[in-house]
Structure 1
Amino acid sequence: MILELADIRIQPGRQAEFEAAIVRGVDTVIAHAKGFIGYEIRKGVESAERYLLMIHWATLEDHTVGFRQSEAFAQWRAIVGPYFAEPPRVEHFALVARSAKA
C-alpha cells in the first residue's frame, strides 16, 4: 500500500468552501479510481490555509498512471483547483512501522 500525501495551500478565507469541495471531490471522483483504498484530510492548526490530503492507494501506479493520467484527474482539479493558492506538493510514502494504537 502507498500513501499519497498532498500538502495543499488555499486562498485565505475560503476554508469552508474548500473543505466542502475537497470532500465532494474525493467522494465523487477519486474514491471510484482503481486502487483507491481510503483517505484522510487534515487542516492546519497554526496555518489556517494549509491542508494535508492523505490517500491510500494499492500501488503507486494506481495513482500516478491510473488516476493522474485519466479524465477523472481533470474532474478532480476542476472541483478543488479554484481554491489553490499554489500547486499542491505531492509525494508518496511506503509504510515502515505503525503503532498498535494507531
Structure 2
Amino acid sequence: MILELADIRIQPGRQAEFDAAIERGIETVIAQAKGFRGYKINKGIESPERYLLMIFWDTLENHMVDFREGPAFAQWRAIVGPFFAQPPQVEHFTLLSKSAER
C-alpha cells in the first residue's frame, strides 16, 4: 500500500468552505478511483490554513497514472483548486512500521 501525503495551504478565511469542498471531492471523485483504499484529513491548529491530506492507494501507479492522468484529476482540482494559496506539496511513502491499535 502507498500513502500519498499532500500538504495543502489554502487562502485565509476559507476554511469552512474548503472543509466541505475537500470532503465532497474525495467522496465523489477520488473514492471512485482505481486502487483507492481510504483517506484521512488533518487540519492545522497553529496554522489553520494548512491541511494534511493522506490518501491510501494500492500502488503508486494507481495515483500517478490511473488517477492523475485521467479525467478524474481535473474534476478533483475543479472542486478544491480554487481554495489553494499555492500548489500542494505531494509525496509518496511506504509503511516501515506501525503501532498496535489501542
- Is TM-score (shorter-chain normalized) higher than 0.5? yes
Q: How does 1:1-102 map onto structure 2 within 5 Å?
A: 1-101=1-101
**Rounded Cα–Cα distance in structure 2 between residues aligned with 1:86 and 1:40:** 21
Any unmatched runs of 5+ in structure 2? none
- The alignment's C-alpha RMSD in Å is 0.7
| SS in structure 2 at match of 1:40 | strand
Structure 1: which 4+ aligned runs deviate by more than 3 Å? none
Task: Map Cα deviations across residues 10-63 of structure 1 (whole Å, 9 max, x no partner).
Answer: 000000000000000000000000000000000001101000000000000000
Any unmatched runs of 5+ in structure 1? none
Aligned residues: 102
**Rounded Cα–Cα distance in structure 2 between residues aligned with 1:86 and 1:26:** 20
Q: CA deviation at 1:101?
A: 2.2
For residue 49 of structure 1, what is the amino acid of its counterpart?
Answer: E
Q: TM-score normalised to the size of structure 2?
A: 0.99
**Rounded Cα–Cα distance in structure 2 between residues aligned with 1:36 and 1:72:** 13
**Rounded Cα–Cα distance in structure 2 between residues aligned with 1:57 and 1:70:** 16
